[in-house]
A and B are shown apart, each in its own frame.
Chain A
Amino acid sequence: MSALAYTVIDSRTLLRRNLRRLRRYPSMTLILIGMPIVFLLLFVFVFGGQLGHGLSSQLAGGHAGRDGYLNYVTPGILLMTIAATVQGTAIVVAMDMTGGIIDRFRTMAIARAAVLTGHVLASLIQTLASIAVVLGVAIALGFRPTANPLDWLAAIGLLALFAFALIWLATALGLAAKSVETASNTPMILTLLPFLSSSFVPTTTMPEGLRQFAAYQPFTPVTETLRGLLTGTHIGTHAIVAIAWSVGIAAGSYLWARRLYNQRQPR
């Protein structure tokens, strides 16, 4: 059998292992998925009534007040779901790397890429499932996307691509962490970035310095593209910038993670 075939087989074996581990340790997934849901409820019901009035009808998807804000904020909440879930990626990667089992894998003739690929694919499935749950909650609250099937397909593709990028980043952070505690803390910065983007309020309302930051950080173009696909707002050049950011983060993080994995010195 070819080397590629073995890589696929070993990755699938380790993917199964990681999904099984996620099922055995559900509290972590529940805590991670709870965060975006809490923020969704908080922003829609506490701030949403007021914030909705400040939105143009176009940004609010033709709704007014609280309903308008729900339509505005949901895409950002979905991205926050990704940012929250990948904290789990960093934790499970660090758990593996600080435990004894990784040394067992490294002394076996397993396809080199399979260990990390198994983690990344399991996290991707976990993240997409989390997004589906959070989206379900948003729809239950009254989120009314106007997307046609093609828009949906593009939206799912964008979410998967951006999740893939952040998962590789979290994998690298998990590999770089000296302990599971560090691994659970460092990716938290990712959950702050949506607040400093157009996810919660339009960047035009921000002071100059912050607006510059928000305009050039990845969450803004990804939010704008996703919002455009789901609720019909203007996308423009955001789509290409969002894809560029995602591909760039994925590639850079992949190379970083691979280097850390290959170079990792023992305890």
Chain B
Amino acid sequence: MSGAREPAISVSGLSKSFGQTAVLDDVDLTVAEGTVFALLGPNGAGKTTIVRILSTLIPADTGEAQVAGHDVASDPDRVRSAIGVTGQFSAVDELMTGEENLRLMADLHHLGRVVGAARIAELLDRFDLVDAAWRPVSTYSGGMRRRLDLAMTLVGSPQVIFLDEPTTGLDPRSRRTMWDSIRDLVTDGVTILLTTQYLDEADHLADRIAVLDHGRIVAEGSAEELKRRVPGGHVRLRFATPEALRAAADLFEGGSRDDEKLVIQVPGDGGVASLRRLLDQLDDADVEVEHLSIHTPDLDDVFFAVTGHPAAEKASA
């Protein structure tokens, strides 16, 4: 166990290249114990590479990284005893049942028969896999597979957990279930580093978020802090007539106006209170709105705000 004041993960000056391509460029990170930290970025930003270095799968070219108080380069076995990793690619054994997969983990963690059986029963119950426990994993749905994957990661009671895109490819309902499971982990006091392409996921789960672009951290802060830097949140109002547009433009002076499309964009977070205020203002001035839509900031907006270029451009990188 590391000292209470020591961060669970600390990274400084981390760089990594594959051949001529620089994947990570001088990355610094600190994750406090018992918190959730999200690495947000598009495909190819270097998120997975950070996870692979911190989980001892590949060495960094330069820089230092400590996980749970142990150096990943000089003391990988100590790091491995302290971490759990759920990768992007399913790390379950298809030919075995869910129970057998968990049993394999319990045996590899040397839990012993009694303790192992209790832990397996607890995890099957917690991840809603009791009914499927004796079916081969090849018959599982995508959501069940991810839950089993996470359950396998938890068998050894890790202090630090890495989740590499834990919900990519899941349907919305399975995604919610996964989020609930991840939130439950935090109450157990573990530290979580997760990677994601979705701002709403980072928003829901993380205490702090780092935005990664081209292997560099371009912004870091809480979800609130990041969203404040994003001008993308607005309410879009469309009107039937130029007169209505003019009347509305007088009401919302901060809004951007498009006379041709008869549209005004009013900055705002789309919250109920501010929306009600906005509608009251329109009602009071007797302005008829033809169409209203709420635009909340997403990864593209955050990206555009902190990098000056859209995220989609990088999708192929």
A contact residues vs B (CB 8 Å cutoff): 6, 9-10, 13-14, 17, 20-21, 24-25, 99-101, 103-110, 265-267
Contact = CB atoms under 8 A, between A and B. Distances in A.
B80 A21 contact: no
B77 A109 contact: yes
A104 B92 CA distance: 9
A109 B92 CA distance: 17
B57 A104 contact: no
What secondary structure prevails in chain A residues at the interface with B? helix
Interface stretch (B83-91, B187-195, B197-205, B227-235): B83-91
B96 A21 contact: yes
Contact of B83 (A9, A107, A265): A107
Nearest to B93: A101
Contacts of B85: 103-104, 107
B93 A108 contact: no
Given A21-B96, A109-B80, A266 B108 contact: no
Contacts of B156: 108
Nearest to A25: B95
A259 to B, nearest CB: 16
Range class of the B interface residue count: 20 to 34
16 contacts: A10-B108, A13-B108, A21-B95, A24-B96, A100-B87, A100-B89, A101-B92, A101-B93, A107-B57, A107-B84, A108-B108, A108-B156, A109-B77, A265-B58, A266-B58, A267-B89
Given A14-B108, A104-B152, 14 more contacts: A10-B108, A17-B93, A20-B95, A20-B96, A21-B95, A99-B89, A100-B92, A101-B91, A101-B92, A104-B91, A107-B55, A107-B56, A108-B156, A109-B80
B136 A109 contact: no
B52 interface: yes
Given A20-B96, A20-B100, A108-B80, A9 B110 contact: yes
Contacts of B153: 104
Chain A to chain B: the 5 pairs with minimum beta-carbon distance, closest first? A100-B89, A100-B91, A104-B91, A109-B80, A24-B95
Given A10-B108, A17-B93, A110-B108, A104 B80 contact: no
Interface string B55-86: 11110000000000000000001001101110
Contact of B104 (A13, A25, A107): A13
A17 B57 CA distance: 23
Among A6, A109, A110, the one with the most B-chain Cβ atoms within 10 Å of its Cβ is A109
B107 interface: yes
B72 to A, nearest CB: 11
Contacts of A106: 56-57
B87 A104 contact: yes
Contacts of B90: 99-100
Contact of B80 (A100, A107, A266): A107
A178 to B, nearest CB: 16
A13 B58 contact: no
B87 A103 contact: yes
A266 B156 CA distance: 24
A13 B100 contact: no
Interface in B79-135: 80-81, 83-85, 87, 89-93, 95-96, 100, 104, 107-110
A6 B87 contact: no
A103 B58 CA distance: 11
B16 to A, nearest CB: 11
A186 B81 CA distance: 37
Most buried by A among B57, B91, B108: B108
A106 B87 CA distance: 12
A107 B57 CA distance: 7
A103 B95 contact: no
Nearest to A98: B89
A105 B57 CA distance: 10
Contacts of A265: 58
Interface string B34-65: 00000000000000000010011110000000
